[in-house]
């Protein structure tokens, strides 16, 4: 209902475990690594536990998508089975024929052993995933353990993954299941998302659904985290209801008031302030003591005029009895800055008293080549000088384009006038390395303000940043304190809008694909000799390329495959040599 209102292609917060929307936080990435290790290397059971709604089933479906075609997977979602019913369900998943009226337990085991031996001889592996395993009975768990006895002289024939809630850990610690516990070779407990990951999770799902800029204000995401506890399923439910509320109220952005109303509707009850009377009394008392201490100190050590000025600054804007959440301080420009830089709104008195950077007059004056090491400066203080306009001036300058001379309300509209396309993603440093393009990063400080800068070069764990026209060097760990994963980069597709190329098409974009493949493979790039037809031979080359660089090997050339082709063919600007390019101008 609300997708068209917010410019989305699909509902971003469905509770269906769709791997396409999987956000790999550090915890989810580690959990997936444990599952992959268990399937590829582990000789015993793999155990994945986590609270309800933390994303265990979605991880399992993502695992299934990443396994090669030579692996047969049986995913059992209904654990309330007898040992015979478990084996029958396993046979159904593996498409093994059987006679349910005549088969005994021994018949099932013998048939399964024969099947697994045959699969082993043709280099196929079989994986059994038992979801909601905390509901398995003792008899079924013992039968599952016995299935691991199906083996050759040097290899297990069936790899088993147990997925369940924390109660599963308690279950397998029983004395009568100690043999099963001893066979667990990889285990991981999945925790809810952190506050920063919750914001990144929300923006990631919105970006996958087609959002061009953040929709939830920072105050709203903090409130979502408070009431969801970082549990993805609860985040989805609250955010889905909040988007519906924003649509009903004709709002373009979701604020904390809309989220609070959504939580109230989801719970079916009003939300009361969590602060207890005792907590409120303690906060008020401490605040009064603090004011009295300042009064005494000021009376003794400060001139009267300076003292009362400081006291006014200290207490201005604060109410000791207020329990309301502070209103969002982000303007429309700050929320949409990464895609639509708009001149800043008039600043407050406090902001006017601070030292703000002046806008660079021209791209040529904004790029000193001296790199300031991180040991001599502080990133947090530098972020106060970062501004969106300067970030895009820098990014466009690296493409030898004068940003200020272009027409267009949004940065991506200006890029399109030069044949460039924007890529907005929520990802990791590995994603940025993969694309090998300078990018605008969005960093968020504790006060909720967003700051934009440009990463111009990556060297191992060190990044070269441009902040308001000055170049600095910082470690990735320092940047990660403020980075939630959002970045925007420019690239040059064969045509705009970005096409999707597959077998049967004939156009100049196919020549573009052949040219870049030939460059990477060391073949001739003479355009006159390149066919404009996308045939099956080209599809095989594309699939081989996609597999080599860990892309979806579907033989279809979309945005991500084009980006990888262009980055590997050495077309500048690249993160690997962008500074050398500037010095050579």
Give residue limits of the domains in the chain: 26-190, 277-315, 333-343+360-491, 508-570
Q: What pLDDT is attached to residue 533?
A: 93
How many Cβ atoms sit within 10 Å of the Cβ of residue 193?
25
- The answer for residues whose C-beta is within 8 angstroms of residue 352's C-beta and 6 or more apart is none
Rounded mean pLDDT of 108-114? 91
Rounded mean pLDDT of 337-346? 35
Q: What pLDDT is attached to residue 294?
A: 52
Q: Find the Cα–Cα–Cα–Cα dihedral 233, 237, 239, 241, rounded to 10°.
A: 180
User: Could you give the CA distance from residue 566 to residue 46 in angstroms, rounded to a whole number?
Assistant: 40
492 compared with 334, residue with greater pLDDT: 492
User: Could you give the CA distance from residue 275 to residue 262 in angstroms, rounded to a whole number?
Assistant: 20
360 pLDDT more than 50:
no
Rounded mean pLDDT of 516-528? 86
**Fold of the domain built from segment(s) 26-190:** Rossmann fold (3.40.50)
189 pLDDT more than 50:
yes
Cβ-contact 245, 252 below 8 angstroms: no
Among the four given CATH numbers 3.90.70.10, 3.40.50.720, 1.10.357.10, 3.40.50.300, the one describing domain 333-343+360-491: 3.90.70.10
169 pLDDT more than 90:
no
Q: What pLDDT is attached to residue 283?
A: 59
DSSP 204-258: HHHHHTT-SS--B-HHHHHHHHHHHTT-HHHHHHHHHHHHHHHHHTT-SSB-HHH
Q: What is the DSSP letter of 363?
A: G
342 pLDDT more than 50:
no
Rounded mean pLDDT of 546-559? 89
Q: What pLDDT is attached to residue 288?
A: 67
Look over the chain and give the mean of its residue pLDDT values, rounded to a whole number.
Answer: 79
- Percent residues over pLDDT 90 in the chain: 25
Q: What pLDDT is attached to residue 281?
A: 58
User: Could you give the CA distance from residue 512 to residue 547 in angstroms, rounded to a whole number?
Assistant: 20
Q: pTM of the predicted model, to two decimals?
A: 0.48
| Element counts in the chain: helices (H) and strands (E) | 24, 12
User: Could you give the CA distance from residue 526 to residue 533 in angstroms, rounded to a whole number?
Assistant: 16
- The answer for residues whose C-beta is within 8 angstroms of residue 68's C-beta and 6 or more apart is none
Q: Could you tell me the CA-to-CA distances from 474 to 34, 137, 478, 558, 579 in Å, in that order?
A: 31, 54, 7, 34, 16
Cβ-contact 63, 32 below 8 angstroms: yes
User: Could you give the CA distance from residue 525 to residue 512 in angstroms, rounded to a whole number?
Assistant: 10
Rounded mean pLDDT of 547-564? 89
Rounded mean pLDDT of 519-528? 85
Phi, psi at 484, each rounded to 5°: -100, 5
Taking each helix axis from N to C terminus, what angle separates 232-248 and 195-208, rounded to the nearest 10 degrees?
60
pLDDT band of 438, cuts 50, 70, 90 = very high
Cβ-contact 487, 440 below 8 angstroms: yes
Residue-wise pLDDT tens digits, 235-258: 999 999 999 999 988 888 999 999
Residue-wise pLDDT tens digits, 44-103: 788 899 988 888 988 888 888 888 888 899 998 877 888 899 899 999 999 898 888 888
Q: What is the DSSP letter of 338?
A: T
40 compared with 107, residue with greater pLDDT: 107
Tokens 């303007």 belong to residue: 331
231 compared with 334, residue with greater pLDDT: 231
283 compared with 481, residue with greater pLDDT: 481
Q: What sign has the CA pseudo-torsion 294, 297, 300, 305?
A: negative
Residue-wise pLDDT tens digits, 556-583: 998 889 989 988 888 888 887 544 444 4
The CATH class given to the 508-570 domain equals: mainly alpha
- Percent residues over pLDDT 70 in the chain: 79
Q: Which residues, in sequence order, are bridge partners of residue 163?
A: 48
Beta pairing, strands 158-164 & 45-50: parallel
Residue-wise pLDDT tens digits, 295-331: 555 444 444 433 333 333 333 333 323 333 333 333 3
Rounded mean pLDDT of 465-484? 89
Question: What would the two tokens of residue 69 be?
Answer: 């075609």
């Amino acid at each position: 209902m609300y997708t068209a209102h917010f410019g989305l292609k699909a509902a971003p917060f469905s509770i269906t475990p769709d791997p396409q929307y999987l956000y790999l936080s550090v915890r989810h990435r580690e959990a997936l690594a444990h599952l992959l290790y268990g399937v590829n290397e582990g000789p015993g059971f793999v155990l994945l536990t986590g609270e309800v709604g933390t994303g265990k089933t979605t991880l399992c479906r993502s695992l299934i998508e990443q396994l090669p075609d030579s692996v047969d997977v049986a995913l059992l979602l209904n654990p309330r089975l007898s040992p015979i019913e478990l084996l029958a369900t396993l046979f159904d998943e593996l498409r093994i024929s059987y006679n349910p009226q005549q088969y005994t337990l021994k018949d099932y085991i013998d048939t399964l052993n024969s099947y697994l031996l045959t699969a082993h001889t043709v280099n196929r592996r079989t994986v059994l995933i038992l979801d909601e395993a905390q509901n398995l009975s003792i008899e079924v768990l013992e039968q599952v353990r016995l299935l691991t006895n199906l083996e050759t002289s040097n290899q297990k024939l069936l790899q088993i993954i147990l997925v369940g809630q924390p109660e599963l850990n308690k279950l397998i610690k029983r004395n009568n299941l100690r043999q099963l516990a001893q066979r667990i070779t990889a285990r991981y407990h999945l925790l809810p998302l952190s506050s920063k990951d919750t914001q990144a999770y929300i923006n990631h799902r919105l970006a996958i659904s087609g959002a061009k800029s953040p929709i939830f204000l920072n105050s709203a995401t903090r409130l979502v985290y408070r009431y969801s506890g970082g549990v993805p399923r609860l985040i989805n439910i609250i955010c889905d209801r909040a988007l519906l509320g924003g649509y009903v109220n004709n709002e373009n952005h979701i604020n904390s008031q809309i989220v609070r109303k959504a939580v109230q509707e989801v719970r079916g009850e009003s939300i009361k302030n969590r602060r207890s009377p005792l907590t409120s009394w303690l906060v008020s008392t401490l605040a009064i003591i603090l004011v009295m201490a300042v009064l005494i100190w000021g009376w003794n050590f400060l001139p009267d005029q300076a003292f009362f000025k400081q006291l006014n600054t200290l207490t201005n804007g604060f109410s000791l009895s207020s329990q309301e959440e502070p209103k969002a301080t982000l303007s429309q420009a700050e929320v949409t800055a990464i895609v639509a830089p708009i001149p800043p709104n008039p600043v407050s008195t406090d902001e006017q008293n601070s030292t703000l950077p002046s806008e660079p007059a021209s791209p040529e004056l904004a790029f000193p080549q001296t790199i300031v090491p991180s040991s001599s400066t502080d990133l947090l203080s530098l972020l106060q000088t970062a501004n969106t306009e300067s970030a895009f001036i820098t990014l466009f300058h690296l493409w030898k384009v004068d940003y200020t001379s272009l027409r267009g309300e949004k940065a991506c509209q200006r890029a399109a006038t030069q044949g460039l396309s924007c890529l907005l993603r929520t990802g990791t440093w590995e994603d940025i390395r993969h694309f090998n393009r300078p990018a605008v990063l969005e960093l968020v400080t504790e006060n909720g303000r967003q700051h934009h800068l440009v990463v111009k070069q990556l060297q191992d764990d060190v990044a070269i940043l441009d902040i308001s026209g000055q170049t600095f060097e910082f470690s990735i760990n320092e940047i990660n304190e403020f980075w939630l994963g959002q970045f925007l980069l420019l690239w040059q597709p064969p045509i705009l809008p970005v096409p999707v190329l597959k077998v049967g098409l004939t156009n100049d974009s196919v020549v573009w694909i052949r040219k870049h493949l030939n460059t990477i493979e060391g073949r001739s790039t003479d355009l006159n000799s390149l066919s404009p037809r996308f045939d099956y031979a080209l599809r095989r080359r594309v699939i081989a390329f996609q597999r080599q660089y860990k892309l979806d090997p579907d033989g279809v050339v979309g945005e991500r495959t084009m980006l990888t082709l262009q980055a590997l063919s050495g077309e500048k600007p690249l993160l690997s040599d962008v500074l050398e390019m500037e010095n050579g101008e």
